[in-house]
Structure 1
Amino acid sequence: MKAINNLTVFTVAFLMLLTAQMNAQKSVTLLTPKEQQTVVDSIGSKLNANYVFPDIATKMVSSIESKLGNGVYKSILDPQEFATTLTADLRAISNDKHLRVSFAPDRIAEQQQTVTAEDSLAFLNRYVSSMKRNNFGFKEVKIMAGNIGYLDLRSFSNVEYAGETAVSAMNFLSNTDAIIIDLRNNGGGSPAMIQLITSYLFGSEPVHLNNFYWRPSDSNSQTWTLPHVSGTRSPDTPVYVLTSGGTFSAAEEFSYNLKNLERATLVGETTGGGAHPGGSVVATDRFMVWVPTGRAINPITNTNWEGTGVSPHIKVPAKDALDIAYMKALELLMENNTDENLQAFYEWPLAELSIKTNPVTLDTKALKSFAGNYGPRMVTLENGTLFYQRGSGTKYELFPYSDHEFMLKGLDSFRIRFLTEGNKITALQGLYDNGGTDKNARGKE
């Protein structure tokens, strides 16, 4: 036993030493004044040549050069801190949330080591595999009660690789009566994916979505919906888009386009405010800079959402946006349909949503008045809680969604309603999610 204990102690000590050595090997080389100068010079060159607004680029470069020359950065030896400081200083001039400096030596080394065709293929495979592990941003696609489609989209991935997934998701939603697209956790991505998904929300006639100006080439481009998509379009289906303060870049463009085309109702918070597309470029062997090289120019507003964000039609905290959009969709469908069966179909989930925002509580006297036998059904009051049971079946806890209607905890497809004549409860009515009902008189078999 003692030998085993000694072996355990030795093993733990060895692992601790190995971990310490590995951490030491991973320690970051501190900055030198020469490297700081190289980083600032390189970033300045990239911005002056490519940043979307040349005059602002000049001001940004002048600012960081001046601070470097005045020794403001002298005490910043940690590379990550230096990147963060440069980002803050550049944004202080530009107010551009896309613009950022990154300390990324591993990423830069990986790119620089991609020389042969085999290297390029391996690099590409790692990139695609990473996107696949996140299902190309398509986090969840489902049909909620009331035939409301829901898509939780976390990024607008490259269509070349994510196109099939997007097509599958949009076709899955094509038979729904309303669609909710959740962009609360979406930080942006590819304009081509915006174009593809949006095309499913319009007819085959192309719709003008956006214009872009590109500073490096001094050129303009346009995006339109596609004249052909695989599968089924949903041009008449009501659409709701959920937003938050974290909704950014391409996710904002998607929201802004649909809002100004009056194709969707936005629910949630004002978005982040980044309308300048661009990309990351290598500044040195350890630093990269994300340079905004273009700007969006909406064909309807002739401007964009840079710095202001996209404001929703219905402003609510992001955490409540799904419930509110879901409720609004069901209410709209009820309003637009006169068929009694459809009314009951949409009302079913709406009742459950309503108790989230307006919970119903009944006092003990009211609860006691419901207790009794209703043919084969029995309602009992136990320790202040109502229970429902049919014959010898499962006993379910009841909770109210009105002063005379109850849901059953653990059974979504059935609810009960107490019927009255005058002030007297006379019957229990069973309600089914397909719109059917049945009834048992109180105190009778």
Structure 2
Amino acid sequence: MLTNEEIIERALERIGAGYVFPEKVAAVEAAVRERAAAGAYRELAGPELCAAVTADLQEVCPDKHLRLMWVEEAQSLEPADEDGGEAAFRALLRAENHGVLRVEQLEGNIGLIELRLITTAVDGAAVIGAAMQLVAGSSALVLDLRRCRGGSPEGAAMWNSYFFPDDQVHLNDIYSRSTDSTRQYWTAGHLPAPRYPDRPVYVLTSATTFSGGEDVAYTLQAHGRAVVVGETTRGGAHPTARHPVSEHVLVTVPTARSINTVTGTNWEGVGVRPDVAVPADEALEAALKAARDAITS
């Protein structure tokens, strides 16, 4: 069994090799090693160790994706099995219906889609299309991301594609440290359900909304395609890789950063700020009122 010191050193090695801002690595390593030398982690175990190291990482470098995570089920440490958590993420998507929790037609011909995760474009295209097909005839749409905890940049781009008329909208870019290159994300040219380009869209957010969910909210808001209703989101804009450093501990390392084509920046550390600020549990009511007013005006 690995000691806490060995787990921490393995995590710092992964951070040093992959973190998207290499100029910040030295300060992160110094702070965590200083705390370790002072015995701050010696008596901690499991989730408590992960929480303590994460707090110290983020005190030096306030990146919400930079953290240690405890997993109950033992994981393989063999390099052949390591894929940045991709296989586990895809299994999670399948188990959770690719993030689509519910689709409803509400009074006043208003569609509602609630998402818990943002699926991948390849694996989840059919489910995204099925959800959008069910609301295709609505007069306005509410996209509920209040409990959406993240997902795939490609999937976020596919969701966003439905709300624009064609494939000519440059949504955002993602810079990757590992390749020192920038990938552009545009609206998709072909979608498995009708587009929704010309009717009101309201995106619900909360302080829980994170990562891929924030990507959808921020992008639609920045491009003037949706009204964001609710609370400021958590503020995690950096795509990450997950690496096992022990049988039960993962380190998540941001390896890339998002760049919105309208704002030139992203939501890291600040969150997506709503256009209509209300408590999360009041966001649906506020959005429905705004939608009904827009439909009847």
TM-score normalised by the chain length of structure 2: 0.92
Question: How far is 1:128 from its partner?
Answer: 5.5
C-alpha distance in 2 between matches for 1:243 and 1:105: 29
SS of equivalent residue, structure 2 residue 73: helix
Alignment partner of 1:57 out of 20, 25, 41? 25
Residue deviations 1:301-333 (CA, integer Å, cap 9, x gap): 111111111111110111011011011111111
Alignment partner of 2:221 out of 253, 256, 259? 259
Contact 1:194 1:250 in 2 (8 A): yes
Once the two structures are superposed, the pairs formed by residues 354-393 of structure 1 within 5 Å of their partners are none
C-alpha distance in 1 between matches for 2:148 and 2:72: 26
Structure 2 match to 1:44: 12
Question: How far is 1:104 from its partner?
Answer: 3.2
Q: Select between 154-163 and 326-335 the one with higher mean Cα deviation.
A: 154-163
Structure 2 match to 1:83: 50
Structure 1 residue ranges, 4+ long, deviating more than 6 angstroms after superposition? none
Q: For residue 48 of structure 1, what is the amino acid of its counterpart?
A: G
Alignment partner of 1:298 out of 232, 256, 260? 260
Contact 2:125 2:192 in 1 (8 A): no
Residue deviations 1:23-76 (CA, integer Å, cap 9, x gap): xxxxxx7xxxx7222112211111111111112221111111122223232333
C-alpha distance in 2 between matches for 1:285 and 1:127: 17
2:148 pairs with 1:181:
no
Higher RCO (CA < 8 A, seq sep 6+): 2
Residue deviations 1:200-222 (CA, integer Å, cap 9, x gap): 11112421111111112211111
Alignment partner of 1:154 out of 88, 93, 116? 116
Alignment partner of 1:131 out of 56, 74, 93? 93
C-alpha distance in 2 between matches for 1:319 and 1:286: 35
Once the two structures are superposed, the pairs formed by residues 99-138 of structure 1 within 5 Å of their partners are 99-104=66-71, 106-109=73-76, 112=78, 130-138=92-100
Structure 2 match to 1:404: none
C-alpha distance in 1 between matches for 2:235 and 2:193: 34
Q: 1:127 to 1:278 in 2, by over 3 A?
A: closer
Contact 1:170 1:197 in 2 (8 A): no
Q: 1:92 to 1:287 in 2, by over 3 A?
A: same
Contact 2:160 2:219 in 1 (8 A): no
Q: 1:285 to 1:258 in 2, by over 3 A?
A: same
2:174 pairs with 1:240:
no
Aligned residues: 294
Question: How far is 1:176 from its partner?
Answer: 0.7
CA RMSD, 1 decimal: 2.2
C-alpha distance in 1 between matches for 2:51 and 2:194: 46
Q: Which has the larger radius of gyration?
A: 1
C-alpha distance in 1 between matches for 2:190 and 2:3: 52
Contact 1:38 1:284 in 2 (8 A): no
Q: Name the % identity.
A: 35
C-alpha distance in 2 between matches for 1:144 and 1:224: 31
Alignment partner of 2:153 out of 181, 184, 191? 191
TM-score normalised by the chain length of structure 1: 0.63
2:236 pairs with 1:274:
yes
Q: 1:177 to 1:102 in 2, by over 3 A?
A: same
Residue deviations 1:398-419 (CA, integer Å, cap 9, x gap): xxxxxxxxxxxxxxxxxxxxxx
Question: How far is 1:127 from its partner?
Answer: 6.7
Question: How far is 1:231 from its partner?
Answer: 2.9
Structure 2 match to 1:92: 59
Unaligned runs of 5+ residues in structure 1 are 1-28, 336-445
Alignment partner of 1:171 out of 113, 123, 133? 133
Question: How far is 1:253 from its partner?
Answer: 1.1
